[in-house]
Amino acid sequence: MQTLTEIRQLLIKAGIRPRRRLGQNFLIDRNLMAKLVELAQPEGQFVVEVGAATGSLTEELLPLANVVLAVEMDPALAGILRRRLGGRDGLTVLECDFLASKRAISPAVAKALPSGGVHVVSNLPYAVAVPVITNCLLASWLAVKQPAPAARFERLTFTVQRELAKRLTAPAGTSAYGPAAVIVALLAKASEGRAVPPQAFWPRPKVTSQMLRLDFDATGASQLDDADALSAVLSATFRHRRKKTATASRKRGFPFPGDVFVAAAVEAGVDPASRPHQIPPGQFRAIANVLSKRHPRSNLVQ
């Protein structure tokens, strides 16, 4: 693992500084990095590291993982990573954004992934953490549902802002409960790791971070018929989280006709007078499943 002095020297030599806009906060606590790797259990796995930076975590993963795909979108940091570790066996450095958009993994990343199990181990940039996590879980759902072999993200282990970790694992009925918590609850089993204080990073963020591990739940995933329908329901209802779901369904731009949505909610055992934060993950899945049968995606309101 690189020390703070070594990271600073690498950046100075490259003529760059950490870019807060890109969430470039380097984990510099050796003990906590070891705890992250221990939580991930990457031994013998194909590991994707999102935001590999100068390769401090990459170095810890290489002796354990079968393959490490280090994804870094900053050209200067990707250059440092290649110069330092480019000759190591089992390492591929990919200079690109992990995401093509908030709803899709980059084609370059998808092309580099194998069919079968993939693990993610990362100090995730806060700004992109939710779309990275949800896209990996939804890609794994698709791998379960489609007959052709595809990459499946079996485990995601990462550090994120503690407040975000609470949002990802929030139960129904709480203020932190939202679309990401529903997707995580339906498609994964969460295990909380160590808290990471601001001083464990350079530059120091203003908040405490949290280690979290999500193990993909193939059994749970098989019970969801249509992830697109689920995503549409979650996005539309939580956009009006203070309103009753029946009221929200009458708002302009709602992706399903209001009467169709209310009928689906009733069939799924959901009171249309409920507000989104009161509906448990399993009932959101039930609504989406009914809608996928009664109102196919091709008929969604554009």
Q: Which residues in the chain are classed under CATH 1.10.8?
A: 227-297
How do the pLDDT tens digits run along the chain, 302 residues long?
A: 899 999 999 999 999 999 877 778 999 999 999 999 999 999 999 999 999 999 999 999 999 999 999 999 999 999 999 999 988 999 999 999 999 999 999 999 999 999 999 999 999 988 899 999 999 999 999 999 988 889 999 999 999 999 999 999 999 999 999 999 999 999 999 999 999 999 999 999 999 999 999 999 999 999 999 999 999 999 999 999 899 999 999 988 898 899 999 999 999 999 999 999 999 999 999 999 999 987 665 344 33
Cis peptide before 147 (omega within 30 of 0): no
- Architecture per CATH, domain 4-222, reads as 3-Layer(aba) Sandwich (3.40)
**Gap between the Cα atoms of 284 and 199, Å rounded:** 40
pLDDT score for 297: 53
**Gap between the Cα atoms of 175 and 70, Å rounded:** 35
Domain 227-297: assigned CATH number: 1.10.8
Residue 91: phi, psi to the nearest 5? Answer: -110, 130
pLDDT score for 21: 73
**Gap between the Cα atoms of 197 and 67, Å rounded:** 30
- Quote the pTM value: 0.94
- Long-range contacts of the stretch 261-268 (C-beta < 8 A, 24+): 261/233, 261/287, 261/291, 263/294, 264/290, 264/291, 264/294, 264/295
pLDDT score for 11: 95
* HEC letters along 192-207: EEEEECHHHEECCCCC
Q: Which residues in the chain are classed under CATH 3.40.50.150?
A: 4-222
